[in-house]
Amino acid sequence: MMHPDTRLQYVSQDIGNGVFAVKKIPKGTITAVKDACDQIFTDHEFSALPELIQESMNNHIYRDHCGNLVLSWDYAKYLNHSCCANTMLTCYNFEIAVHDILPGDEITAEYGLLNVPEPYDLFCRCPDCRGRLSLDDIDRYAEKWDALILGALLDIKKHPQPLWPLLNLNTACRLDDVLVNPSVYSSVRNLKWRENRKY
Ligand SMILES: [Zn+2]
């Protein structure tokens, strides 16, 4: 579920819709939570859906670290990618603002964390656009992304968190542990779906 101080807005014919801030959202704010209403599919379940539905979902679905396909039930699924994303997916089942987001700013996410099935070219407006989304982006950029996320997590108690009630108790406890001892932070490397990994 998206943060309430956001709205869905048309961007362009090429991009379609995006999610924009209607109020300032400070760095350290939880901007979206994977919640109990999101839909989760195995590959088998997804492939059993009518093709028309699969095609419609394909641009809005992501793969979690267990290999499941996840579809957000609200407009969180319209978050667009930026190589300078102002939010990042974490190992704590939420996206967090890694920079201050001002009213009117588009809220962007890092698709490199979403286990895309195939590499594809990127055309974001970021000055540091890396030009192509690769399957090993998590491994290549984890250190940089972890630094951004950890810096934001350490601010998490400084700001109102309207999505906090959607976190489960285990996540809240893990966050408290990180605040006390940042060395227990869980790296985004753990978001990568590694097909042969034992769980
Ligand atoms: Zn880019």
- Quick: pLDDT tens for 149-176: 999 999 999 999 999 999 999 999 999 9
Ligand 1: distance of its center to the CA of 158 in Å?
30
Q: Is the pLDDT of residue 196 over 70?
A: no
Structure tokens, 193: 């779906």
β-pairing verdict for 87-89 and 94-97: antiparallel
Choice among 47-51, 104-108, 121-125, 192-196 with the minimum mean pLDDT: 192-196
> 78 in a domain, yes or no?
yes
What pLDDT, in 10s, does the model give residues 61-103? 999 999 999 999 999 999 999 999 999 999 999 999 999 999 9
What is the identity of the amino acid at 171? T
> 59 in a domain, yes or no?
no
Ligand 1: distance of its center to the CA of 85 in Å?
9
pTM of the model: 0.94
CB-CB contact of 101 with 73 (8 Å): no
Ligand 1: distance of its center to the CA of 117 in Å?
18
Ligand 1: distance of its center to the CA of 104 in Å?
20
Q: Is the pLDDT of residue 39 over 50?
A: yes
- Structural domain of 150: 6-38+73-111+124-191
CATH code, domain with 162: 2.170.270
Count of structural domains, the chain: 1
Ligand 1: distance of its center to the CA of 121 in Å?
9
Q: Which residue has the tokens 């290549």?
A: 140
Which residues make up the environment of ion ligand 1, defined by Cβ < 5 Å?
Answer: 83, 122, 124, 126, 129
> 131 in a domain, yes or no?
yes
What pLDDT, in 10s, does the model give residues 11-25? 999 899 999 999 999
Number of other residues whose CB lies within 10 A of the CB of residue 145: 24
Q: How far is CA 6 from CA 15, 89, 181, 184, in A?
A: 18, 17, 32, 31
What angle separates helix 137-153 from helix 169-180, to the nearest 10 degrees?
A: 80
